[in-house]
Amino acid sequence: MADSTPEQVTLTIDSQSVTVPAGTNLIEAARTLGIEIPHFCYHPRLSIAGNCRMCLVDIEKMPKNQIACSTKAAPGMIVRTRSDKAVKARQGVMEFLLINHPLDCPICDQAGECVLQDFSYHYGTGGSRFEGQKVHHDKNVDLGPHIVFDGERCIKCTRCIRFCDEVTHTHELGLFSRGDHTIIGTFPGKELDNAYSGCTADICPVGALTVKEFRFKQRVWFLRNTASICAGCARGCNVNLGINEERIWRITPRDNDAVNQSWICDEGRLSFQIYQQAERLGRALTSSAGGATKEMLVASGYEQAAATLGEIARKHGGATVAGITSGHATVEEQAGLKELIERAGGSRIALPVHERGDDDALLIRRDKTANTVGARLAGGANCTMEDLLTAIKIGKVRALVVLREDFLGEFGAEAMTARGALDFLMTLDWRVTATVKASDVALPLSAYGEMDGSFINFQGRIQLLRPGLTPYEESDPAWKPLLEIASRLGGAAVPKNFREAFRWAASRVPELSHLDTPALGKFGVSLESPASGQG
Ligand code: SF4
Ligand code: SF4
C-alpha cells in the first residue's frame, strides 16, 4: 500500500487500496475505483447538505455508519460499502424515502433517468412495511416561467435550493412546514425565474422539478444524445442534444470544467426552438424577371455565382467583390467565404455585431454569436457593417456574398439603399430571410444540429459542433458551396468531408495549423494552452 502524505491520502474501500488528494470525500474516493456510493442530496458542485442519508457506509472502528459525502478520506481508513451493516442502512433509507412517494413512475417524466427509480431497484428491498395513508401534496405547482413542481415526488434533498443560493445567488427557493409536511416552495412574492432555472430540473434527482417546454413531450429512452455545443452566445457551453424522429426535443448541459461546469442558461436550453419555427431554405433560388425568386439546381447556383463574380471582377476590378461573414458561421465556413472573396480578387469582409445585455458572472455573454473569434482569426473579418454599406453606396463594392446574416432585415433602409447599388447579391443561409428574398442567388445551408463544424469561444477554446439530424433538403455546410464556387474561379479542390474541410481551414491559420478534429474530442482545446482543460 502506498504511504499517505500531507497532500495524498491512502485508504481502503471494499478491500481495494486507493490514494486520493487530501480532503477528498468518500463518495469521490470510491468513484475513482469505479465503486458507486448511492446518493441523492450530494452534488459535487454544491455544498454538502448530508440530509438524504443514502450514502451511509460502514467504516472500521466506527460504531455507527457514516455518511460518505461529508466524511473525508483519512490515512489507513477501511471503508465497506457492501457490508451487511451498510446494505441494511441503505435499504432502510430507501424504504423511508418511498413512504410518502406516490410511486407514479409510469406517468413521471423522470422515469428512465430517475436516480430514485434506479437506486430503489439496486439498493431497495422492493417492499414497504408502511400501511398508513401517504401524505399528499400539490402535484402541479407553477414555480416560474420554465419550471413545474410536483410536491409528492420531492425527497427534500435541497439541491434546488442550494443551486439558487450558491450558483445563481438568486435565493428564490426555501423549505416550508415541518416533519413529513415539509415542502419546497418559492418565498412570498418570488418566482423561480433566474436565467438558469432549468438547471434545477437537471439536478433534481427525481421527477419533482420538470421543464415545461419538455415535460410530456418524449420518453427519455427514445432520445439519442448528441454531444455538441450551444450556439447561443460566445461561451459555447457543452451540451447534449436530445434527438428523436429528426427533431431536437431538449438541450441539456454536458460537464466541461473549462467552459460551463455543469450548467447552461435557459435561453441556450431553448435555443433549438428557433430552428423549428423559422421558414427553412431547402433549395437554391435565383431572381426572376418579375422580382420574385425561383428554384434552380444547386450546381446551377455555383455556375451562375462563379460566372457573375468573375465578370464583375473583370469589369470593375476584383476589389469590388466583398463579403459579409458571421459569428454564427463555423470556422470552416468563415474560411470558405474568405477564400471565395480572395479568389475573386477582393478582400473586404464585414462582421455584423450581435450583442445584447451584459456578460453575467456565471456563463452568459453579451456577444450572442458563438464564433466571433473565428470570424476574425479564420474569416478575415476586417471592416464594420457601416464601412461596408458606405463602400457599396459610393460604388466601391458591386458584388456582395453574405454568409448566415440577414443584413437587409437588420440594417433597414440604409441596407435597402445599398442593395439597390449592388450589381450582384448572393446569400447563403438556412432560413428564408429578407436578404435571401432580395438575392440574385441564394444557396441553402444546413442548420444547427444538422452539421459538423468548429467554433472558437470567447476564451479562445476551439470546440466541435456535432450533427444528430439529417441536413434539410439540399442544404450543406457553407464551406461546400463557397469552395465549389471558389474552385470555379481557380481555387483548390473542394474538401470531401468535414475533417478535410477542418484541416484545410486550420492549415491557413497559424494558431490552428497543428490541430485535427480527433484532437478536439468532446471538450475542445484551448488555443492559449492546448493541453489544458480536457473536461
Ligand atoms: S424538488 Fe428535487 S431538487 Fe428540490 S428538494 Fe425536491 S427532490 Fe431535491
Ligand atoms: S451561456 Fe451562452 S452558450 Fe451557454 S447555454 Fe447560455 S446561450 Fe448557450
Model confidence pLDDT, tens digit, residues 109-137 = 999 999 999 999 999 998 899 999 999 99
Q: Candidates 3.40.50.300, 3.30.70.980, 3.30.70.20, 1.20.120.640; correct CATH number of 100-216?
A: 3.30.70.20
Average pLDDT, integer, range 438-463? 98
d(CA 409, CA 523): 35
Q: What is the β-pairing status of strands 424-429 and 247-253?
A: unpaired
pLDDT at 477 over 90: yes
- pLDDT for 289 equals 73
pLDDT at 479 over 80: yes
Q: What percent of the chain has pLDDT over 70?
A: 98
Atom 7 in ligand 1: residue holding the nearest Cα: 154
Average pLDDT, integer, range 229-251? 98
Q: What is the pLDDT of residues 291-325, one digit of tens each?
A: 678 999 999 999 999 999 999 999 999 999 999 99
pLDDT at 532 over 90: no
pLDDT at 2 over 70: no
Q: Looking at 87-91, 98-102, 196-200, 423-427, which range is the least confident one?
A: 98-102
What is the overall mean pLDDT for the chain? Answer: 95
- pLDDT for 126 equals 87
Category of 469 on φ-ψ map: left (φ > 0), alpha (ψ -120 to 50) or beta: beta
- pLDDT for 143 equals 98
pTM for this model (two decimals)? 0.94
- pLDDT for 6 equals 80
Q: In the structure grid, which three cell numbers stand for residue 84, read together?
A: 451487511
Q: 8-97 maps to which CATH number?
A: 3.10.20.740
pLDDT at 491 over 90: no
Which ranges in the chain are annotated with CATH 3.40.50.740?
284-526
**pLDDT band at residue 261 using 50, 70 and 90 as cut-offs:** very high
- pLDDT for 529 equals 62
Which ranges in the chain are annotated with CATH 3.10.20.740?
8-97
Q: Candidates 3.40.50.1820, 3.30.413.10, 3.40.50.740, 3.40.1010.10; correct CATH number of 284-526?
A: 3.40.50.740
φ, ψ of residue 429 in degrees (nearest 5): -155, 165
What is the whole-number distance in angstroms between the Cα of residue 305 and the centre of ligand 1? 58
Which ranges in the chain are annotated with CATH 3.30.70.20?
100-216
Average pLDDT, integer, range 403-427? 95
267 lines ligand 2 (CB under 6 A): yes
What is the whole-number distance in angstroms between the Cα of residue 136 and the centre of ligand 1? 16
- pLDDT for 535 equals 37
What ligand 2 atom has the least distance to the C-alpha of 251? 5
Burial 216-237 (b: 16+ CB within 10 A, else e): eebebeebeebebbbbbbbbbb
465 lines ligand 2 (CB under 6 A): no
Average pLDDT, integer, range 280-290? 90
Atom 1 in ligand 2: residue holding the nearest Cα: 364
Q: What is the β-pairing status of strands 183-186 and 173-176?
A: antiparallel
- pLDDT for 533 equals 41
- pLDDT for 288 equals 82
Burial 134-148 (b: 16+ CB within 10 A, else e): eeebeeebebbebbb
Pocket test for ligand 2, best of 197, 229, 264, 358 (most atoms within 8 A of CB): 264
What is the whole-number distance in angstroms between the Cα of residue 357 and the centre of ligand 2? 13
Q: What percent of the chain has pLDDT over 90?
A: 94
What ligand 2 atom has the least distance to the C-alpha of 253? 5
Query: What's 451's DSSP letter?
Result: S
**pLDDT band at residue 531 using 50, 70 and 90 as cut-offs:** very low
